[in-house]
Structure 1
Amino acid sequence: MNVPPAPTAGYITRFWSPLAATWIMMSLEGPVLAALIARLPDPKINLAAYGIAFSIAILVEAPVMMLMSAATALVRDRDSYRRLRIFAHGLNALATLPLCLLLIPRVFDALVRGLLDLPPDVAGLTYGALWFFVPWTAAIGYRRFVHGVMIRDGATRRVAAGTLCRLGAMTGTAILLFVFFDLPGAWLGPASLVTGVLVEAVAARWMGAAAIRRTLAIPGPSLAGAGTLTYRGIVSFYYPLALTSIIGLATHPMLTFFMGRAHAALESLAVSPVIGALSFIFRAIGLSYQEAAIALLGNDLENHRAVGRFAAGLALACSLGLAVFAFDPFFSLWFETVSGLAPDLAAYAWVPVILLVPLPALSVWLSYQRAVNVLRRRTRPITMATIVEIAAIALIFAVTGWGLDLVGVTAATIAFLGGRLISTLYLEARGETSRLRRERAAGRL
């Protein structure tokens, strides 16, 4: 893919918007499923069980999350494609094992029933829900690898088309199960999600065939001095990214554990997935910018000014979008009408939504920071920033949730926002963006 020098905002928008649409479509899955679960019997218990199972599945999926960024940054020819593909297959298989082990009854009882101290009905529904997630990790890992190759080739519209297939399959399955089957809501959610992901993986391989063929037609290192990509090089590049995902995604199970031991535990566990689904719609726009920035910055970061300016405007727009839902009539429309929560349960969400308004802007800026570090192949600062974030989250929750005895979901929101802010400031100071500013000031960029 040939990126023009100093790409305009229009060019960046055309390239990035299909990726944003992809993430927005994925972000709609949570609200759709939460709305259906809320309309089935025992909504509070089923929403809590679904939220716990989903948090565990996301944590297990963490090692494969960065395969899209890795493929976008590293796949440039036939050799690099084949090596990274083999690496991805091995990683997918390895990442599936922890969930299989967790489903052994004794392991589940010790780690989930015992550690989380769940009520028996919630624990039983959670165990059943986790069985549906067994194919989840491998399917996501494969499609993220293929999508990275497609993004590198400039085929971002096909990426969005594949996700449209996913959303359609997920929604169709959810409606079918809702209407015709007497399935607990906590099981309807993962069954629908996994069906959509499997369909998307198949669609990715089909829609990415042309991009893969073009990549395989390049016989060797495509850039002067690029060198051959070795397995050792892949591991050295990728393991900090995988560790970043594992540590970062551990946040959700950790906060679930914390909320279960805080004030208004069941209400917090029930409303948390609905709040998360709303905020994710706007955070997803920022998350989608990471791969676009990797592809558009240029191998020598020559387009950093244009890509950085676009990120700043996007950050402001995303946070303003979430702010609209912090107040009526949109607050009631989302939480009561769309999500189906009772007014007394929806009331627990108001303060957290207000607190979360800056989070989408931080997500955009973090995506830009990570893109710069990935292109310079300095992935360790990303990991360190994530370690700082999760440590800050734990400390802040201990103060707000247990020290000040705030409602669990409110304490979790304060902790999450505070941790993300500290992480972003750390990466700004210690990562490649600060070096980029110094080089620009010195006239080297």
Structure 2
Amino acid sequence: MSIRVDESLTFSRIFRFWSPLALTWLLMAVEGPLLAALIARMADPVTNLAAFGVAYAFALVAEAPVIMLMSAATALCRDAESYRRLRIFTLLLSGGVTLLLVLLLVPQVFTLVIERWVGLPCQIAGPTRQALFWLLPWPGAIGLRRFYQGVLIADGRTRRVTVGTLARVGLMALSGFLLAGTEMLSGAAAGGLALSAGVVAEMLVALRLTRPSVRRLLRLAGEAETPDFRAILRFYLPLAMTPLIGLSIQPVVTFFLGRGQNAIESLAVLPVLYGLTFIFRALGLSYQEAAIALVGRKMEHRREAGRFALALGGACVGLLGLIALTPLADLWLRGVSGLAPELARFARWPLGLMVLLPGLTVWITWQRSLLVLAKRTTPVSIATAVEAAAILLLLTLLIPRMPWPGISIAALALTAGRFLAIFYLMPYCRRRSLPS
């Protein structure tokens, strides 16, 4: 069902518009664990899991510049000319990030970056290169599908976004199971091929499903304020920097955990805590494009969409708190995640410290959506830099000095950093600071 943004907004309408996007994020969250489980059951699992992890990390860096194309398309694709210009921009950007990944695979460059700078041993470097080869279509396909999905969201067709993601996860799982069963490729290479197959399928489905929306756009005459390529670049560059800066946080946290108290236990529970909190943070992340589409070009629905964001943030905090602060924590940590009893006890305190993170994620994505609509994107990347700097500073100061487990300090730093980023954006998001 298509919901047009000029309709009066109620909670139920917003929920119907947003829920397919939330489901899309939750579906994507199963990719990593599923592929890791398949690779773990293939030959030489330790080497191939390590190689796939390294290759996937580099693929994420290559993907980072195109992640925000969905938000850009949702905000900017208003008529035929804006659609054409942003499509050309998307093609150039997607081609550029693909060429960067190709450059990394040049033997001399790969040896310099992966073996010398990163310091991977030879037995892991080989499978890593194989996985990166099969991941070559990944960043470009991601860029194109996010552009087309943004067009769908701007046209109110959010359920079609979920159809594409179902195709992605389904083909990825099918490819993974077939490759794991036949062992035609190494585990790392099979993981890379399965991921690329799924994303290319999603891109093709999005291209097909977006045709009615594109036809509607092509019938609309251009507006006086249609951005040229220079304006698109000024608008998008800060957005592209935001995920690049954000991606730097996780390796920094891992680095400090290895040097803090209870290092082994902290590193062991980190992915479990990230995984659980991401389920609820994903609900907030998925609201960004929904808010961009629903608030209205003149912010006419800001109050209604803001109230929904407040309710969503409260629900996310409440649901995570219901797990983290009750006996359900043991059920999740031991029963679902498979942690030993002592590790489950160790993880409960940092999990409690991370309870607010999903609500803060909703808050900051709401702020970002307002700024994207107002075409004031520079504060978005600066806020992410403030968050990363605060986390780095807190870890630097507290890890060597405090007798607390490293994971507890990291949980505190992640929460405090997000608070500071939100605080930085507050003046920019006040009603009098945004166009009406």
TM-score (norm 2): 0.87
| Pairing partner for 1:428 from 422, 426, 429 | 426
| Pairing partner for 1:370 from 360, 368, 371 | 368
| Pairing partner for 2:243 from 245, 265, 268 | 245
Output the aligned Cα RMSD: 3.1
Residue 48 of structure 1 contacts residue 270 of structure 1 at CA under 8 Å; is this kept in 2? no
1:29-428 pair list within 5 angstroms = 29-38=31-40, 47-118=49-120, 121=123, 123-181=125-183, 185-221=187-223, 226-259=224-257, 272-326=270-324, 331=329, 334=332, 338=336, 349-404=347-402, 409-428=407-426
Structure 1: how far apart are the matches of 2:45 and 2:361? 31
CA deviation after TM superposition for structure 1 residue 67, in Å: 0.6
CA deviation after TM superposition for structure 1 residue 144, in Å: 0.4
Q: Deviations over 1:363-394 (max 9, x none)?
A: 11111100111111111111110111111122
2:19: which partner in 1?
A: 17
Residue 238 of structure 2 contacts residue 377 of structure 2 at CA under 8 Å; is this kept in 1? yes
2:300 alignment partner, SS class: coil
Structure 2: how far apart are the matches of 1:277 and 1:354? 14
Structure 2: how far apart are the matches of 1:409 and 1:49? 25
Structure 2: how far apart are the matches of 1:286 and 1:320? 13
CA deviation after TM superposition for structure 1 residue 280, in Å: 1.9
- Equivalent pairs, count: 434
2:78 alignment partner, SS class: coil
Q: Classify 1:359/1:53 alpha carbon distance in 2 versus 1 (closer, same or farther; 3 Å).
A: farther
Q: Which runs of 5+ in 1 are unaligned?
A: none
Identical amino acids, percent of aligned pairs: 48
Structure 1: how far apart are the matches of 2:425 and 2:10? 27
CA deviation after TM superposition for structure 1 residue 2, in Å: 3.9
Structure 1: how far apart are the matches of 2:412 and 2:101? 30
Structure 2: how far apart are the matches of 1:308 and 1:175? 43
Q: Classify 1:176/1:399 alpha carbon distance in 2 versus 1 (closer, same or farther; 3 Å).
A: farther
1:3: which partner in 2?
A: 5
Residue 247 of structure 1 contacts residue 387 of structure 1 at CA under 8 Å; is this kept in 2? yes
CA deviation after TM superposition for structure 1 residue 318, in Å: 1.4
CA deviation after TM superposition for structure 1 residue 145, in Å: 0.3
Q: Deviations over 1:329-387 (max 9, x none)?
A: 75565555555666677676544433322111111111110011111111111111011
Q: Classify 1:52/1:279 alpha carbon distance in 2 versus 1 (closer, same or farther; 3 Å).
A: farther
Structure 1: how far apart are the matches of 2:118 and 2:70? 33
Residue 73 of structure 1 contacts residue 294 of structure 1 at CA under 8 Å; is this kept in 2? yes
Residue 393 of structure 1 contacts residue 418 of structure 1 at CA under 8 Å; is this kept in 2? yes
Q: Deviations over 1:17-54 (max 9, x none)?
A: 11111111112223323444455567666555444433
CA deviation after TM superposition for structure 1 residue 139, in Å: 0.5
Q: Classify 1:305/1:149 alpha carbon distance in 2 versus 1 (closer, same or farther; 3 Å).
A: same
Greater Cα offset, 266-275 or 27-36: 266-275
CA deviation after TM superposition for structure 1 residue 59, in Å: 1.9
Structure 1: how far apart are the matches of 2:105 and 2:260? 27
Residue 5 of structure 2 contacts residue 156 of structure 2 at CA under 8 Å; is this kept in 1? no
Structure 1: how far apart are the matches of 2:240 and 2:393? 24
Residue 75 of structure 1 contacts residue 149 of structure 1 at CA under 8 Å; is this kept in 2? yes
2:60 alignment partner, SS class: helix
Task: Write the letter of the residue equivalent to 1:92.
Answer: S
Q: Classify 1:367/1:169 alpha carbon distance in 2 versus 1 (closer, same or farther; 3 Å).
A: same
Q: Classify 1:34/1:337 alpha carbon distance in 2 versus 1 (closer, same or farther; 3 Å).
A: farther
1:227 alignment partner, SS class: coil
Greater Cα offset, 131-140 or 397-406: 397-406
Residue 67 of structure 1 contacts residue 148 of structure 1 at CA under 8 Å; is this kept in 2? yes
Structure 2: how far apart are the matches of 1:53 and 1:163? 22
2:324 alignment partner, SS class: coil
Task: Write the letter of the residue equivalent to 2:294.
Answer: L
Residue 48 of structure 1 contacts residue 266 of structure 1 at CA under 8 Å; is this kept in 2? no
Residue 31 of structure 1 contacts residue 274 of structure 1 at CA under 8 Å; is this kept in 2? no
Task: Write the letter of the residue equivalent to 2:388.
Answer: I
CA deviation after TM superposition for structure 1 residue 167, in Å: 1.3
CA deviation after TM superposition for structure 1 residue 172, in Å: 1.7
CA deviation after TM superposition for structure 1 residue 3, in Å: 2.3
CA deviation after TM superposition for structure 1 residue 175, in Å: 2.4
Structure 2: how far apart are the matches of 1:178 and 1:274? 25
CA deviation after TM superposition for structure 1 residue 60, in Å: 1.6
Residue 260 of structure 2 contacts residue 405 of structure 2 at CA under 8 Å; is this kept in 1? yes
Greater Cα offset, 318-327 or 235-244: 318-327
Q: Deviations over 1:310-338 (max 9, x none)?
A: 00110111123333443787556555555
Residue 53 of structure 1 contacts residue 130 of structure 1 at CA under 8 Å; is this kept in 2? yes
1:300 alignment partner, SS class: coil
TM-score (norm 1): 0.86
The structure showing larger relative contact order (alpha-carbon pairs under 8 Å, at least 6 residues apart) is 1
Task: Write the letter of the residue equivalent to 2:24.
Answer: T
